[in-house]
Amino acid sequence: MFTGLIEGLGQVIENRPVSEGIRLVISSQFPLTDARLGDSIAINGTCLTVVEIVKDTFSVDVSRETLSRAGIGRLATGSKVNLERALLSNGRLDGHIVLGHVDAMGMVEEITKLPKSSVIKVSVPLDVSRYIVEKGSIAVDGISLTVNKCKDDWFMLNIIPATIQKTNIIFWKVGDYVNIETDIIGKYVERLLNLGHEKKQQGLNVEFLAKHGYV
């Protein structure tokens, strides 16, 4: 699990195909002294497993399933990426619950720079937008952010300079793709409601219970 609070930037050193996916080699801007093989690290919000560590670089393998949902395969050599190591059990949840499981890719539609912040509009697929609510949390390229406004297929962010300077937002341009992970709580609520609806459709109601002697 992650918090969406980016620890620092990394840079793609290599992106090469391997069996059933790709391997990324990433250099980190912060020390990897406590990193171990098998650790989880979120790269632009995508939870990946460390398979090799060499000095200040680490490697991860990316599966076809992850490539089909996240923009991780689009990363070219030299690309700057957001990095966050998994949350320790004794750590503080300062952002929000981020699983590192990307729902879909969004696209940066507009960037408006204001004196003390930047307003960014991001478009998203309709099947993802139903989980996005105004003033709710969302992870964009792994960054825990607050939805300022949302409509059917887009949402707005109002981002302070400190966040921009610490993350890859500083490199975003109109037309760029970003990884989107919506709040897990909304997905669970929807699933539970749908299960209740399905049971009613299958006859689990008062009439069914009376017929079978339960009431």
Q: Tell me the percentage of the chain whose pLDDT exceeds 90.
A: 76
Distance of CA 152 to the CA centre of its chain: 20
The model's confidence at residue 211, banded by pLDDT at 50, 70 and 90, is confident
- DSSP state, 206? H
pLDDT at residue 214 in the model: 65
Calpha distance 191→32 (Å, rounded): 39
Q: Which of 183, 172, 11, 162 is nearest to 83 (CA)?
A: 11
What's residue 32's pLDDT?
82
Contact (CB, 8 A) for 182 and 99: no
Task: Encode pLDDT of 77-129 as tens digits.
Answer: 999 999 999 998 888 788 899 999 999 999 999 999 999 999 999 999 999 99
**In the numeric block, which tokens belong to residue 40?**
């989880």
Condensed to tens digits (0 to 9), the pLDDT of residues 37-65 reads 999 999 999 999 999 999 889 999 999 99
Please choose, from the candidates 184, 4, 186, 1, the residue with its C-alpha nearest in 3D space to the C-alpha of residue 95: 4
Distance of CA 6 to the CA centre of its chain: 12
Whole-number CA gyration radius for the chain: 20
The two most distant CA atoms of the chain are separated, in Å, by 70
Tokens 């990095």, located at residue: 83
Averaged pLDDT score across all residues of the chain? 91
